[in-house]
């Protein structure tokens, strides 16, 4: 499985934007970039995913570099409820042998200050 | 709608015992995956089942086994427990095994403590 690299921790103030970076220099052409987050005492939660184009949903935006070797998860206005561990994960597209497996790294611990 | 449910919530066992953890997927989901999360680490993939067949296995010893039932619920069994098996065991369900839309929905987990 392709590897991702994320900062161990980041801090933000409430209601400010947060940009969470992820490096994935060995990404293959068929790998999708997924983001999950894990709030304290809960299971991981899907945030967003994309392939080449930037993506937006109700939770966040995903900006993908043109060469796809890095991406950034953007929380437009951080709230205290966004404090969590954020995981950047590469997943093979349909037909790959990874089936449903998610390969989690260490993730980024996001702290949001009031 | 109910999310993924897991039982029990917490469990304490002693070394050498065996344990069975249970998972009920979201209604309509046919794929169930199991993960182990040791404190301070990200979840590690153990198994995936789809339509009652094993479709993926992580790097775990044969002491770990699982199965999926006709109603798509699943059990994870761990034999001969070791202290290192103490962890949060997470179950996740999804519509299909792979593909771009394969968002996985996680349950709250079972906290296993081995003494």
pLDDT tens figures, A14-57:
999 999 999 999 998 888 899 999 999 899 999 999 999 999 99
Q: Return the structure tokens found at A56.
A: 């937006």
Q: Is B28 on the interface with A (CB under 8 A)?
A: no
pLDDT reading at A89 higher than 90: yes
Are the C-beta atoms of residues B18 and B65 closer than 8 Å to each other? no
What are residue B83's phi and psi, to 5 degrees? Answer: -55, -35
The ranges of chain B with pLDDT < 70 are 1, 96-101
**What is the number of other CB atoms lying within 10 angstroms of the CB of residue A2?**
15
Q: Residue A92: CA atoms inside 13 Å, Cβ hemisphere, count?
A: 12
How confident is residue A95, by pLDDT bands cut at 50, 70 and 90?
A: low
How confident is residue A80, by pLDDT bands cut at 50, 70 and 90?
A: very high
- All residues of chain A having their beta carbon less than 8 Å from the beta carbon of residue B42 are 85, 87, 104-107
Query: In this predicted structure, what is the pLDDT of residue B85?
Result: 98
* Among B47, B100, B105, B108, the residue to mutate for chain A (most A Cβ within 10 A): B100
Of the candidates A43, A85, A107, which has its C-beta nearest B106's C-beta?
A: A43
Q: Return the structure tokens found at A27.
A: 């990404």
- For the four alpha carbons of A52, A95, A98 and B19, in that order, the dihedral sign comes to positive
Query: In this predicted structure, what is the pLDDT of residue A93?
Result: 62
Return d(Cα B11, Cα A54) in angstroms, integer: 43
CA angle B100, A35, B109 (to 5 degrees): 100
How confident is residue A1, by pLDDT bands cut at 50, 70 and 90?
A: low
Return d(Cα B58, Cα A101) in angstroms, integer: 9
Residue entry with tokens 């060995």 = A26
Q: Which residue in B has a C-alpha nearest to residue A33's C-alpha? A: B100
Nearest CA distance, A43 vs chain B (angstrom): 5
Query: In this predicted structure, what is the pLDDT of residue A94?
Result: 52
Query: What would the mean pLDDT of A71-76 be, rounded to a whole number?
Result: 97
Query: What would the mean pLDDT of A104-112 be, rounded to a whole number?
Result: 95
Average pLDDT of chain A? 91
Between residues B97 and A83, which one has the greater pLDDT? A83
Q: Is B53 on the interface with A (CB under 8 A)?
A: no
- All residues of chain A having their beta carbon less than 8 Å from the beta carbon of residue B43 are 44, 102, 104
Nearest CA distance, B17 vs chain A (angstrom): 26
Contact B94 A104 (CB under 8 A): no
Q: Is B115 exposed, middle or buried (0-12, 13-18, 19+ CB in 10 A)?
A: exposed
Contact B104 A49 (CB under 8 A): no
Are the C-beta atoms of residues A45 and A37 closer than 8 Å to each other? yes
Q: Is B56 on the interface with A (CB under 8 A)?
A: yes
Query: What would the mean pLDDT of A68-94 be, rounded to a whole number?
Result: 92
Between residues A97 and B80, which one has the greater pLDDT? B80
CA angle B43, B49, B50 (to 5 degrees): 130
């Amino acid at each position: 499985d392709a590897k991702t690299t994320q900062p161990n921790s980041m801090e933000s103030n409430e209601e400010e934007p947060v940009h969470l970076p992820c490096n994935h220099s060995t990404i293959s052409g068929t790998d999708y970039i997924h983001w999950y987050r894990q709030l304290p005492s809960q299971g991981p939660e899907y945030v967003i995913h994309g392939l080449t184009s930037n993506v937006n949903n109700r939770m966040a935006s995903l900006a993908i570099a043109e060469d796809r070797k890095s991406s950034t998860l953007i929380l437009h206005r951080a709230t205290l409820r966004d404090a969590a561990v954020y995981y950047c994960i590469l997943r093979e597209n349909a037909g790959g042998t990874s089936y449903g497996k998610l390969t989690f790294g260490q993730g980024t611990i996001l702290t949001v200050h009031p | 709608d109910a999310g993924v449910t897991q039982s029990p919530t917490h469990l304490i066992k002693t070394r050498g015992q065996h344990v069975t953890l249970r998972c009920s997927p979201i209604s309509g989901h046919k794929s169930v995956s199991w993960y182990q999360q040791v404190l301070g680490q990200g979840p590690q993939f153990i198994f995936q089942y789809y339509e009652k067949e094993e479709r993926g296995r992580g790097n775990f010893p044969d002491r770990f086994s699982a199965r999926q039932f006709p109603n798509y619920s699943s059990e994870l069994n761990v034999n001969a427990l070791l202290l290192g098996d103490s962890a949060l065991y997470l179950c996740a369900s999804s519509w299909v095994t792979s593909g771009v839309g394969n968002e996985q929905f996680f349950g709250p987990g079972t906290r296993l403590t081995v003494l």
